[in-house]
Structure 1
Amino acid sequence: MTRKVILYIATSLDGYIADKNGNIDWLTAYGDQDVVSEDNSYQTLLTRVDTVIMGRTTYDQVINEFMVENNDAYYYENMSNYVFTNRPAEARENVVFTNESVVDCARQLKVEKIFG
């Protein structure tokens, strides 16, 4: 049995995740704030996930912004992480920095044994 690959992403109609300053506050700035604050779909999804794949800019945002908001806890520390980048990065447990093809990496992950 192969592993599932699930894409969970928010993007604007023009194809961007962040605004020109790198902010993603537009994701929660609109709509009924009670509904936005009660949305736990991402946390629910993470209960089914053992590996996270992200780009370097997203990784840097997790490290530099979200960790500060969460008392320096790395949000995906209990999962395998693959960060796609051409830039050197500080080593972190459970994080693999790679410049291989995302497609090749996903194909390889699909055939690996599921741990847990």
Structure 2
Amino acid sequence: MRELVYYVAVSLDGYIAGPGGEFDAFPVEGDHMAAQNERFSDAIPTVIADAMGIKRTGTMFDTVVMGWNTYAVGLPVGMTSPYQHLKQVVFSRTRTESDVPGEHPNLKVTDEDPVEVVRRLKSEPGQSIWLCGGGQLATQLAGEIDRLVLKRSPVLFGDGIPLFAPGTYQPSAFNEVSTTAFGSGVVISEYARRQLSQDPN
């Protein structure tokens, strides 16, 4: 079965973006970039990957799910289909596909229950599903997350959008798969959901 992977940059104080959704404080230069771009090339916006000459392998993700606010970050610069190489699912209770400029066959805006949608996606053949953000959607999908990949950056935001928004979900245990510290100060840690048979308690 396909995995739902929450792959995201996060500050030392637990924010994935500033109060207005800004994320320009995260370092985009340093020795961590080559490593993350090699493994997670599928998670780079299409136009940026093309401009940088980064080849997408298609072996990590073939689908991305995100909330409307995460999707809308690119609209002011004309990025109406940020991940054209992936199947894109945008969740919103108030927006529809009529709010998306242009026509994008591989982008769907839906008010369906995110859990039901993700469970349906998991049952289909394909690569992993990338949970792009934001914190509210991550909280809704907390029980469906199979893998966490956190790019912890050596910055403090003070306020903003948390990794998980306050909410109610069952406590979940994860096993550390790997942690790599880079000279840039960025630490990439990967965790897999602990299966019941692995839980010593």
Say whether the fold is shared (TM-score over 0.5). Answer: yes
Equivalence for 1:93 = 105
Q: Give, in whole Å, the separation in 1 of the partners of 2:20 and 2:106.
A: 29
**RMSD value over aligned CA atoms?**
2.6
Tell me if 1:28 matches 2:27.
yes
Equivalence for 1:54 = 66
Q: Rg bigger for which structure?
A: 2
Q: Looking at both structures, which has the greater relative contact order when contacts are Cα pairs under 8 Å and sequence separation is at least 6?
A: 2
TM-score by length of 1: 0.72
Q: Give, in whole Å, the separation in 2 of the partners of 1:23 and 1:77.
A: 22
Q: CA offsets, 1:80-116, max 9 Å, x none? A: 110011223225220110112221111100001228x
Q: What residue ranges of structure 2 are gaps of 5+ in the alignment?
A: 43-56, 128-201
Q: Specify the SS of the correspondent of 1:6.
A: strand
Structure number with higher strand proportion: 2
How much has 1:79 moved relative to structure 2? 1.2
Q: What residue ranges of structure 1 are gaps of 5+ in the alignment?
A: none
Equivalence for 1:12 = 11
TM-score by length of 2: 0.45
How much has 1:4 moved relative to structure 2? 2.0
Instruction: State the percentage of identical aligned residues.
Output: 31
Q: Give, in whole Å, the separation in 2 of the partners of 1:43 and 1:52.
A: 18
Equivalence for 1:79 = 86
Q: Tell me how many residue pairs correspond in the alignment.
A: 105
